[in-house]
Amino acid sequence: MEQNEVAIIQNKILVIRNQQVMIDRDIAELYGVETRVLNQAVKRNAERFPEDFCFQLNDSEFENWKSQIVISNSEKMGIRKKPFAFTEHGVTMLSAVLKSETAVNASIQIVKAFVAMRRFLVSNAQIFQRLDSLEMHRIESDKRIDELFSLMDKYKVVDTQGIFYQGQIFDAYAKFQSFIAQAQKDIVLIDNYVDVSVLERLATKNSGVAVTIYTSSKTKLTAQDIQNFNAQYPPLTVNYTDKMHDRFLIIDHKILYHIGASLKDLGKKCFAFDLFDASFIPDILIKV
């Protein structure tokens, strides 16, 4: 699949229950299987598909989905069974369950589409919000509009320290993404509680940037998660250590951040970050 086909997949990504998802029939078409075959595979492996991986649409979601899809009314009338929706994690798990080359290749493109959508939303969410405000308050001044777009500067890396309070999840993640965007060579993350959601954030790194993670041996990150990441966004190396308590993020071996919360929990509770003296980096890497 070429880049334009990834764009086509993006058009099939929906937002349901505040999550980006794809419907089973669209995934089945890309995987080259019948929808019933795909759903049968899910039922046989139900333990691999918790609700944050896959869920069935309820009645109102079903009717809303039918009103959006571009098919004839007669075809819509023929769709009686509520479809299943798969999150990005669910799509990845599907490729492992179906175990076909077509499914694996298609899942890579689908996940790329999910990541591209997420990057777009993260990059523009503040603008969308402020544009809504502009419409509501009928702001017509060019000066006001210039002020609006300058608000995006809050996500540039200019602060050496800061505090994010409980509930500032988007702001915290946006700040973290700005740290990641700086990396040109490598990223080192020291965090005892890394999971797949952290890998999703790291997937937005610049192409070719090497990632090394030091985490607890009790991490929820699996060998399959690491393999899937390396299939699309290499290279990633995961090392296990019980020597560190705090979280550190090292960019290109010359920028050192101390982060007061695990990266999977940013904004869930109040935490702070600091830019540390880079001279600490060699000592941290020796002792990790």
State residue 134's pLDDT score: 47
CA distance 53 to 88: 7
State residue 11's pLDDT score: 76
Residue 141 has pLDDT above 50, yes or no: no
Closest CA to 17 of 86, 82, 80, 94: 86
pTM, rounded to two decimals? 0.48
CA distance 25 to 84: 8
* Between 19 and 44, the higher pLDDT residue: 44
Q: Which fold has domain 158-287?
A: Endonuclease; Chain A (3.30.870)
Q: Tell me the sheet residues that pair with 212.
A: 188, 237
* Between 12 and 234, the higher pLDDT residue: 234
Report how many helices (DSSP H) and strands (DSSP E) the chain contains, helices first.
12, 11
Residue 55 has pLDDT above 90, yes or no: yes
- What pLDDT, in 10s, does the model give residues 175-196? 888 888 889 999 999 999 999 9
pLDDT more than 90, % of the chain? 29
Cα→Cα distances 174→56, 121, 186, 222, 234, Å:
31, 11, 19, 26, 22
Q: Which fold has domain 3-118?
A: Mlu1-box Binding Protein; DNA-binding Domain (3.10.260)
CA distance 255 to 249: 8
- pLDDT bucket at 117, cuts 50 / 70 / 90: low
Cα→Cα distances 138→135, 207, 217, Å:
5, 41, 54
Domain with CATH 3.30.870.10 in the chain: 158-287
Domain with CATH 3.10.260 in the chain: 3-118
